[in-house]
C-alpha cells in the first residue's frame, strides 16, 4: 500500500515594520509591497508617570517608565504581530525622540539590543525606504541616552519647581528648563520697551526735476557736507533748513554707479521654516510643524498613492544631497532657462553647532510641482509646501544682479543724497525673496543724471519722527533669538512657545508676544531664587552638554548629577525663604449674576475669561463677550463671538444660543435672491477659500470672491 504523503502548506511570515503614525505607515507600505506588514505605534508607548516624579534620585537618576494609559491593547497587538513576523524593523523618526521610541519598542517586544533592527531615512521615498531596509543597524544607545538626559532633566526641573510655585503663588502654574528662559526673553524685551525714552527727529525729502521740470525723483537732506550727517532734532531747526532748501539751487556733485549681487537664502532648517511661515503665511510654529509633519509622512495624491513630499522637518543642517541638487538644477534649466542655473552648484555652510544627521528641508522630488498637485493638498499643506519648494528652488538658482546709483547733490547751504536701484537680472528673485520681520524702506529709481547737471526744486517735505522702542517678539523673531542664543533645539521651539502661551505667562496682540502679569511675577521669582534656570548662557551650556551625550563625550547621568546637586540646595533654600505671594486678579465691571460680586479676569488655556472671586463658594464663570459688526439673521440682535472648549470660534445672538448658534460668521450683506443674511464660511477648519452662503435653509445661493453659483 502506497504511503500518502501529506504536505502542509506553510504560510510565509512577513517582515514587520513599525513606525509612529498611520499616515507614515501607509506611505511606506506602498514602497515595500506584500512581503511587509507596516503598523503604527501611535507615538510613544512608554513614558515617565504623570502622577509622580518617576525618577529615583537616590539611585543615580534611574527613570521609572510605565506603559502609557490606553496603549495596552495596541501593545498586545504589536506583540502578536512581532511574534508572527520573520524580522522586525523599527522605522521611527530619525532623531533622538524617534530613537527613544524604537528603544522602548525593543524593550516591550523583547528585541535584543544587539539585533540590527533599526532603520532610518531622511525622506520617505521608494529609494530611501528600500535602502534603509537593506542597511539596518543597532539601536544607537548614545541617541537614546541623549533623549533620556533631556527628558530626565526637564522632568526634575518641572516636577520640583512647579509644586513650589503652586504652594507659594497659586495652583496650576508650571516652570520648565526651556520655557522659563523663553518667558524671560519676552519679559526682558517688555522691560526694555517700558524703559525706553523716545527722542524726536526730523527728515526732509526734496523732490527734484531736471531743468525742464521733468524726470522727478526724491533726494534726502543729509547735512552741511557729504561726510557728516546733520541731526534735525526739533521743528524749529527743521523749519529753518526747509526754508533754505526751498530757496536753493542744486547741482549734481557726484554720481557713483555700481552693480551688486543679491544672494539667495539657503534652503530651510526647522528654525528658518518656522520664521518664514510666520512672516509670509501667518502660521504659528505649532501649525507649521503639524503641517510639515503631514507633508513628510505622506500625502495621498489623486494621481495615485501616498507620497512623502518633503525631507525630515526637524533639522538645523543646510546640507543637500548631490542627487537632489542635480535634479533641481535640471528642473531650473528646463523651466527658467540656462542663465538661471549657476555655473557651479551652490553649497551652504551649516552652523558649527548644527547636528548634521539630516539634510536641510527640501522637496523629495522635483516631479511634484506644487501647482500640479494642488488639488491633492489641503490649504495649509499647499501653502507650506509651495514655500518649501520655492525656497529650495531659489537656493540653487543664479544670484540676482542689481544696478545701483548713489548721488551727492549740492545746494547753496546743504548737501542732499539720493540713491536708487534697478534689477538688471532677477535670478533667484524670479521665484523667491526672503521675508523680513520689519518693513524696510525701499529704494526708488533715479533718472539718468550726470555730474554737473543743474536741478530744480519741485517740493520740500519735512517729516517729524520719534525713535521707536525695540519691537516685541513675534513667534518668528523669538525662534530666531532662541536659535541664536542656543536655547532649545529644532524640535523644541514650537512646543516651548505653545507651553508659555497656554500656561498664561505670555499673550498675543496680533503677532506680537507680551508677558502677562503672571509671566512677570513668575519670572521675577525665578530670577531671584533660580537664577541659573532663567540664565541664557547657563541654558545654552546645558544644551551643549546634552549634545555631548549624543556624541559620546559625556555620560548622561553625570550631566544630570552635576546639575542636580546645586539645584537641590537652591530648591531647599527657596522653600524656606519664599513667603506666600498673592496674585491680584484684575477686576472687571461685570457683576456675578449668582452672588453679586464683581467678576475678575482669569487666564485660561484658550485666553481670558471671567470668574467669580468668591470661589469655591461661588463657581460661576463666563466667557468674555466680543461683539462684531453684524446682526442676528433671526431677530436682528447683536452678534457675539465666543470660543468653544477646544478653542474654536463660533457665533451666537445676544439673546442666546437658542436664537443663533453658528460656526459661520454673520455679515451685513444680504442675499440678492431672497434677501436673507449672507454668512461667511471657510472651507477647512476656519481656513481656506471664503464663501458666502445664505442663512435661509430654503435658499441655495453661494457667492465666492471670483464667482457666484447655486448650491
Average pLDDT, consecutive stretches of 10 residues, N- to C-terminus, the chain (711 residues): 45 90 93 93 94 94 95 95 95 94 96 93 94 96 95 94 86 86 96 94 96 93 95 96 95 96 95 95 94 96 89 94 96 97 94 73 96 95 98 97 96 95 94 74 82 95 93 94 92 93 86 90 92 93 91 93 94 87 81 93 72 91 82 88 69 84 88 89 55 86 62 46
Distances (CA, A) of 180 to 157, 175, 533, 549: 10, 6, 7, 23
Positive or negative: CA dihedral 316, 322, 324, 326: positive
Which distant-in-sequence residues (6+ apart) come within 8 Å of 315 by Cβ? 269, 270, 355, 357, 358, 359, 360, 361, 490
State the angle between helix axes of 517-529 and 556-577 in degrees (0 to 180), rounded to the nearest 10: 110
CATH architecture of the domain formed by 200-263+400-466 = Distorted Sandwich (2.70)
Looking only at the bridges linking them, the beta strands covering 665-670 and 638-643 are: unpaired
Tell me if 250 sits within 8 A of 411, measured CB to CB.
Answer: yes
For CATH 2.70.20.10, list the domain ranges present in the chain: 200-263+400-466
Contact 148, 559 (CB under 8 A): no
CATH 1.10.460.10 positions along the chain are 148-195+471-577
Query: Which triple of cell numbers denotes residue 435?
Result: 521675508
d(CA 379, CA 365): 21
Return the CATH fold of 274-395: Topoisomerase I; domain 4 (1.10.290)
Contact 504, 603 (CB under 8 A): yes
CB atoms within 10 A of CB 156: 21
Q: 511: Cβ–Cβ under 8 A, 6 or more apart, which residues?
A: 278, 282, 474, 475, 476
Cell matching residue 301:
495624491
> How far, in Å, CA of 626 to CA of 304, rounded?
46
- Per-residue b or e along 585-616, where b marks 16 or more CB atoms closer than 10 Å to that residue's CB: eeeeeeebeeeeeebbebbeeebbbbbbeeee
Active site residue 340: no
Quick check: bond before 616 cis, omega within 30?
yes
Q: Which CATH number is associated with domain 15-139?
A: 3.40.50.140
Q: Quote the strand ranges of 178-249, DSSP E.
A: 200-209, 217-223
The candidate with the shortest Cα–Cα distance to 416, out of 268, 206, 560, is: 206
Catalytic option among 31, 65, 312, 564: 312
d(CA 634, CA 3): 88
Instruction: Delimit the CATH 1.10.290.10 region(s) of the chain.
Output: 274-395
Task: Determine the pLDDT at residue 585.
Answer: 78
Q: Could you tell me the strand order of the sheet in which 15-19 lies?
A: 36-40, 15-19, 88-90
User: Residues spanned by CATH 3.40.50.140 within the chain?
Assistant: 15-139
Look at the block and give the residue holding cell 525706553.
196
What is the pTM for the complete model shown?
Answer: 0.80
CATH of 148-195+471-577, one of 3.40.350.10, 1.10.460.10, 3.30.1330.40, 1.10.540.10: 1.10.460.10
Q: Which three cell numbers stand for residue 573?
A: 533654600
Q: Rounded to 5 degrees, what are φ and ψ at 663?
A: -80, -20
Amino acid at each position: 500500500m502506497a504511503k500518502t504523503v501529506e504536505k502542509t502548506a506553510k504560510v510565509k511570515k512577513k517582515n514587520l515594520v513599525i513606525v509612529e503614525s498611520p499616515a507614515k505607515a501607509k506611505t511606506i507600505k506602498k514602497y515595500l509591497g506584500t512581503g511587509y506588514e507596516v503598523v503604527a505605534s501611535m507615538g510613544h508607548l512608554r513614558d515617565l508617570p504623570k502622577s509622580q516624579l518617576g525618577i529615583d534620585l537616590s539611585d543615580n537618576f534611574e527613570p521609572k517608565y510605565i506603559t502609557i494609559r490606553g496603549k495596552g491593547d495596541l501593545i498586545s497587538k504589536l506583540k502578536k504581530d512581532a511574534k508572527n513576523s520573520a524580522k522586525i524593523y523599527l522605522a521611527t523618526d530619525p532623531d533622538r525622540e524617534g530613537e527613544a521610541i524604537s528603544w522602548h519598542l525593543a524593550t516591550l517586544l523583547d528585541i535584543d539590543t544587539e539585533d540590527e533592527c533599526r532603520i532610518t531615512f531622511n525622506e520617505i521615498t521608494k529609494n530611501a525606504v528600500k535602502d534603509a531596509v537593506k542597511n539596518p543597524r543597532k539601536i544607537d544607545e548614545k541617541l537614546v541616552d541623549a533623549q533620556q538626559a533631556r527628558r530626565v532633566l526637564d522632568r526634575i526641573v518641572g516636577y520640583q519647581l512647579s509644586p513650589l510655585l503652586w504652594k507659594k503663588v497659586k495652583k496650576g502654574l508650571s516652570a520648565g528648563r526651556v520655557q522659563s528662559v523663553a518667558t524671560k526673553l519676552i519679559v526682558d524685551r517688555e522691560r526694555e520697551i517700558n524703559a525706553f525714552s523716545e527722542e524726536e527727529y526730523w527728515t526732509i525729502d526734496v523732490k527734484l526735476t531736471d531743468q525742464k521740470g521733468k524726470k522727478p525723483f526724491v533726494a534726502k537732506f543729509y547735512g552741511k557736507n557729504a561726510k557728516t550727517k546733520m541731526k534735525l532734532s526739533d521743528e524749529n531747526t527743521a523749519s529753518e533748513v526747509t526754508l533754505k532748501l526751498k530757496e536753493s539751487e542744486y547741482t549734481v556733485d557726484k554720481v557713483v554707479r555700481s552693480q551688486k549681487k543679491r544672494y539667495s537664502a539657503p534652503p530651510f532648517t526647522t528654525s528658518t521654516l518656522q520664521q518664514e511661515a510666520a512672516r509670509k503665511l501667518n502660521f504659528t510654529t505649532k501649525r507649521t510643524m503639524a503641517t510639515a509633519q503631514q507633508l513628510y509622512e505622506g500625502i495621498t495624491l489623486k494621481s495615485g498613492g501616498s507620497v512623502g513630499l518633503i525631507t525630515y522637518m526637524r533639522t538645523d543642517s543646510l546640507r543637500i544631497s548631490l542627487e537632489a541638487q542635480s535634479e533641481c538644477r535640471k528642473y531650473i534649466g528646463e523651466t527658467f532657462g540656462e542663465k538661471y542655473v549657476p555655473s557651479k552648484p551652490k553649497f551652504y555652510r551649516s552652523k558649527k553647532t548644527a547636528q548634521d544627521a539630516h539634510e536641510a528641508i527640501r522637496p523629495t522630488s522635483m516631479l511634484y510641482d506644487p501647482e500640479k498637485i494642488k488639488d491633492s493638498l489641503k490649504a495649509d499643506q499647499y501653502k507650506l509646501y509651495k514655500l518649501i519648494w520655492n525656497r529650495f528652488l531659489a537656493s540653487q538658482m543664479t544670484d540676482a544682479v542689481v544696478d545701483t546709483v548713489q548721488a551727492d547733490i549740492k545746494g547753496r547751504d546743504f548737501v542732499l543724497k539720493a540713491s536708487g536701484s534697478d534689477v538688471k537680472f532677477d535670478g533667484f528673485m524670479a521665484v523667491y525673496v526672503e521675508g523680513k520681520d520689519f518693513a524696510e524702506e525701499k529704494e526708488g529709481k533715479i533718472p539718468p543724471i550726470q555730474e554737473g547737471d543743474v536741478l530744480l526744486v519741485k517740493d520740500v517735505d519735512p517729516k517729524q519722527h520719534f525713535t521707536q522702542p525695540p519691537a516685541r517678539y513675534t513667534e518668528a523673531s523669538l525662534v530666531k533669538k532662541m536659535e541664536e542664543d542656543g536655547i532649545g533645539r529644532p524640535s523644541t521651539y514650537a512646543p516651548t512657545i505653545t507651553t508659555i502661551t497656554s500656561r498664561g505667562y505670555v499673550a498675543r496682540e496680533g503677532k506680537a508676544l507680551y508677558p502677562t502679569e503672571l509671566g512677570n511675577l513668575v519670572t521675577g521669582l525665578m530670577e531671584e531664587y533660580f537664577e541659573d534656570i532663567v540664565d541664557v548662557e547657563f541654558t545654552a551650556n546645558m544644551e551643549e552638554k546634552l549634545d555631548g551625550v549624543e556624541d559620546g563625550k559625556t555620560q548622561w547621568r553625570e550631566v544630570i548629577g552635576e546639575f542636580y546637586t546645586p539645584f537641590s540646595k537652591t530648591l531647599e533654600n527657596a522653600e524656606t525663604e519664599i513667603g506666600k505671594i498673592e496674585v491680584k486678579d484684575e477686576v472687571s465691571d461685570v457683576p456675578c449674576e449668582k452672588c453679586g460680586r464683581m467678576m475678575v479676569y482669569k487666564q485660561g488655556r484658550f485666553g481670558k475669561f471671567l470668574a467669580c472671586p468668591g470661589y469655591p463658594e461661588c463657581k460661576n464663570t463666563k466667557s468674555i463677550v466680543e461683539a462684531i459688526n453684524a446682526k442676528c439673521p433671526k431677530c436682528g440682535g447683536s452678534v457675539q463671538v465666543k470660543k468653544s472648549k477646544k478653542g474654536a470660534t463660533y457665533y451666537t445672538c445676544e439673546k442666546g444660543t437658542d436664537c443663533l448658534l453658528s460656526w459661520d460668521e454673520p455679515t451685513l450683506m444680504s442675499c440678492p435672491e431672497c434677501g436673507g443674511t449672507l454668512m461667511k464660511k471657510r472651507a477647512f477648519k476656519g481656513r481656506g477659500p471664503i464663501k458666502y452662503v445664505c442663512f435661509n435653509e430654503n435658499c441655495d445661493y453661494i457667492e465666492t470672491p471670483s464667482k457666484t453659483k447655486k448650491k
